């Protein structure tokens, strides 16, 4: 899905935002979501205070810490609900009902969370309401840290998560505000670097090199010289890389071609993995689906597969997701012996996010009501005139690689005693998550 977007704002400074998520779901490999924000401006500033210059020089050459933790305080921080994740997914799925979908709610969520800390007025209120953020900015930062907290167990080259944040800015347009400089590194682990956007090819090479390194080469070219116009003020990059093997790998010799029903009338043959093992499983009448959770070696991470009971039941299940918490679904699953047949799949997806976020109630970010305050002496408002999201995901026998409620209404059906057969032979939903956040979510409808 590729759509061009125009905000209709051409006089104000432009905040150009691209959310790119690279998911490659392969044999225990990675997830790589990329979120990029380009802030554009037209006016230059001449104030070059000596003290401020020295401060910026010190900050911009100091790498941000890999991760900031809030040990005991995080125990009292409220974990955001699934509401944003599910609503985002539902709107995206309606626009892609005939094609495979993969998004990284966490990538979009973390980028918007950071923007909420540098915004004011109506925009700040819309972001806080959409993301269910606390009013206190310190708690917002702690919420961000909790969402992106790294696992401490079972980590190695094949089982790892890497978060990256970087703010590129052009000093021709003035200095970043001191509180932005401080919070970027102290609270959001963000690297800072000045670039000359009047040399777009050089700037693009520098940015793409950083992105490629952070995503382990899953994303090579996130920007090009043409996208870095002469009035670009700054570029904010947020990346997340996820790679993990299954806790118990699928045997290669068990993978065979099996039928997959695209709809009740059309059947194709696809490579399908097979295993018999203990999994967490449940059947949910209110959802109209059965659910299987496959654990990764990476601590606390699973892939949840939501399989509609009807071949053509995907749309109805997606609609009902707003009535049921993903956390509660996971909580209600029970360990069963399961014969699982699951197709291998790979998805590459790209979309313009502005229409979706506008439908979710986020409008001020894209017009003159936007009050994004990162520069010390802005004379025009910053607005977002483009936001894109890209994902790549690859799932196979080894694992996954990717660059990305009303509790009373959910009651699992009684689960029959004995062996459970979970055959994924028609369109389904997948969710890669841990107990705090949804990293990737999508549906498979075609091969």
- Write down the pLDDT at residue 242: 77
- Write down the pLDDT at residue 174: 65
pLDDT tens column, 418-429:
789 999 999 999
What is the pTM (predicted TM-score) of this model? 0.79
Same fold, 82-244+347-394 and 252-344+405-444: no
Q: Which portions of the chain are predicted below pLDDT 50? A: 1-34, 40-75, 404-416
Topology of domain 252-344+405-444 in CATH is Alpha-1-antitrypsin; domain 1 (2.30.39)
pLDDT tens column, 303-330:
999 999 999 999 999 999 988 889 999 9
- Write down the pLDDT at residue 67: 40
- Write down the pLDDT at residue 80: 64
- Write down the pLDDT at residue 77: 57
- Write down the pLDDT at residue 424: 97
Topology of domain 82-244+347-394 in CATH is Antithrombin; Chain I, domain 2 (3.30.497)
* Residue 376: φ, ψ to 5°: -70, -35
User: Residue ranges per domain, the chain?
Assistant: 82-244+347-394, 252-344+405-444
- Write down the pLDDT at residue 36: 52
- Write down the pLDDT at residue 56: 46
């Amino acid at each position: 899905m590729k759509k061009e977007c125009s905000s209709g704002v051409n006089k104000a400074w432009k905040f150009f935002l691209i959310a790119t998520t690279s998911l490659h779901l392969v044999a225990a490999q990675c997830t790589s979501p990329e979120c990029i924000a380009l802030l554009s401006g037209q006016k230059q500033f001449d104030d070059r205070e000596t003290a401020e210059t020295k401060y910026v020089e010190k900050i911009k050459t100091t790498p941000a810490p890999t991760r900031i933790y809030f040990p005991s305080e995080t125990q009292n921080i409220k974990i955001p609900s699934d509401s944003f994740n599910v609503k985002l997914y539902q709107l995206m799925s309606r626009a892609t009902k005939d094609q495979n979908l993969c998004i990284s709610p966490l990538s979009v969520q973390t980028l918007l969370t950071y923007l909420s800390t540098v915004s004011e007025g109506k925009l700040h209120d819309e972001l806080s309401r959409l993301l269910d953020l606390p009013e206190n900015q310190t708690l917002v930062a702690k919420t961000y840290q909790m969402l992106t907290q790294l696992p401490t167990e079972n980590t190695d080259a094949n089982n790892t998560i890497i978060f990256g944040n970087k703010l590129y800015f052009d000093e021709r347009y003035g200095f970043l505000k001191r509180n932005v400089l401080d919070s970027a590194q102290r609270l959001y682990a963000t690297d800072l670097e000045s670039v000359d956007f009047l040399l777009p090819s050089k700037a693009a090479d520098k940015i793409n090199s950083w992105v490629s390194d952070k995503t382990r080469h899953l994303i090579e070219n996130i920007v090009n010289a043409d996208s870095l116009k002469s009035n670009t003020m700054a570029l904010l990059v947020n990346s997340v890389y996820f790679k993990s093997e299954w806790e118990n790998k699928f045997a290669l010799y068990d993978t065979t071609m099996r039928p997959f029903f695209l709809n009740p009338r059309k059947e194709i043959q696809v490579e399908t993995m097979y295993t018999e093992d203990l999994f967490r499983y449940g059947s949910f009448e209110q959802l109209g689906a059965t659910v299987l959770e496959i654990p990764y070696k990476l601590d606390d991470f699973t892939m949840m597969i939501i399989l509609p009971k009807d071949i053509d039941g995907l749309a109805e299940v997606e609609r009902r997701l707003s009535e049921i918490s993903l956390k509660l679904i996971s909580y209600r699953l029970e360990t069963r012996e399961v014969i699982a047949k699951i197709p291998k799949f790979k998805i590459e997806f790209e979309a313009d996010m502005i229409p979706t976020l506008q439908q979710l109630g986020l409008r001020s970010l894209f017009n003159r009501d936007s009050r994004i305050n990162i520069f010390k002496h802005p004379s025009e408002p910053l607005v977002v005139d483009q936001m894109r999201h890209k994902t790549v995901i690859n799932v196979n026998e080894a694992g996954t690689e990717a660059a990305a409620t009303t509790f009373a209404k959910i009651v699992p059906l009684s689960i029959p005693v004995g062996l459970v057969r979970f055959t994924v032979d028609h369109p389904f939903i997948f969710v890669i998550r841990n107990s705090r956040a949804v990293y990737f979510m999508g549906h498979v409808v075609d091969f």
